[in-house]
Structure 1
Amino acid sequence: MTRIAITLGALLVAFAASAVELSDAQRADIEERIKPVGEVCMQGDSSCGGAAAAAASGPRSGKDVFDSACMACHSTGAGGAPKMGDVAAWVDRIAKGMDTLHQHGLQGVPGTGMIAKGGCMSCSDEEVMAAVDYMVENSQ
């Protein structure tokens, strides 16, 4: 029994040693196959090695923000939103002034379906105001 255990132990050591003897290319292939799909980096953590995605070169246009964030409600009228281009729906709103419309775009309108920034939390204040301007320009 002891002889068998020693033989099996020797075989196990030999097998383990052969598994460790990988070429650099083999190691690289294995590392590539088992690497995580992505990583989480908290804002302010300098150990992450930089931004995960390239930032836009500048603020998005009003049209871009409208197309990505506002269109769902302001092109269909969902939740009572005034449709862009519907002059009658916008005339009283426009009469309140751009400051009020910008404030509504940024902070939402209590008691309606309009939430702060239209739900676009990645939009800057300037981008939201540009989207409001775009809708007003196309609704007069």
Structure 2
Amino acid sequence: MNKFVSALCALGLGAVLVASVQAATNNEKIIERIKPAGSVCMVGDDSCGGAAAASAGSGGRSGEDVYNTKCSACHGTGVLDAPKFGTSDWADRGAKGMETLLANAINGINAMPPRGTCADCSDDEIEGAIQHMLDSAK
């Protein structure tokens, strides 16, 4: 009888160990399934491994790049009376001066919301896009 009890205890302990190992494996699978797909790095955050610093040091986007990706949707077609790229609309606006044009672009004017569609643009990038549009005036 003593051997029988010992065998049952060993069998029970083995089942507990198997269940424990299985639970750990399941937890690892769950952790793997729910882990974040990526992360966000902000400029100046040193915990990102320098990725944010590298992109910040690139000198920003050119005025043409900003125009093509952010401004052309409205200024390319003249949506809601936006001054159209490549037309005399910009020659007229140039007379107002860059300081006024930049303030209008940053703060919004008429139907244009503040910063247009470029919430992630620096003031210098917006100024570059304005200059690009001014340079296009015919």
Counterpart residue number, 1:122: 120
SS of 2:102's equivalent in the other structure is helix
Counterpart residue number, 1:90: 90
Q: 1:85-125: per-residue Cα shift (whole Å, max 9, x none)?
A: 121x233322222222122122211xx11122213121110
Counterpart residue number, 1:64: 65
Once the two structures are aligned, what percentage of the paired residues are identical?
A: 42
SS of 2:116's equivalent in the other structure is helix
AA of the residue aligned to 1:91: A
CA distance in structure 2 between the partners assigned to 1:79 and 1:136 by the alignment: 19
Shift of 1:72: 0.6
CA distance in structure 1 between the partners assigned to 2:124 and 2:42 by the alignment: 25
AA of the residue aligned to 1:50: G
SS of 2:59's equivalent in the other structure is coil
Shift of 1:6: 6.3
The TM-score normalised by the length of structure 2 is 0.70
Structure-2 change in CA distance of 1:45 and 1:70 (3 Å): closer
* Alignment RMSD: 3.5
Structure-2 change in CA distance of 1:100 and 1:42 (3 Å): closer
Give unmatched runs, 5+ long, in structure 1. 23-28
CA distance in structure 1 between the partners assigned to 2:62 and 2:44 by the alignment: 28
CA distance in structure 1 between the partners assigned to 2:91 and 2:68 by the alignment: 22
Structure-2 change in CA distance of 1:103 and 1:43 (3 Å): closer
AA of the residue aligned to 1:68: T
CA distance in structure 2 between the partners assigned to 1:18 and 1:90 by the alignment: 71
Shift of 1:65: 0.5
> Quick check: 1:106–1:129 contact (8 Å CA) kept in 2?
no
Counterpart residue number, 1:16: 19
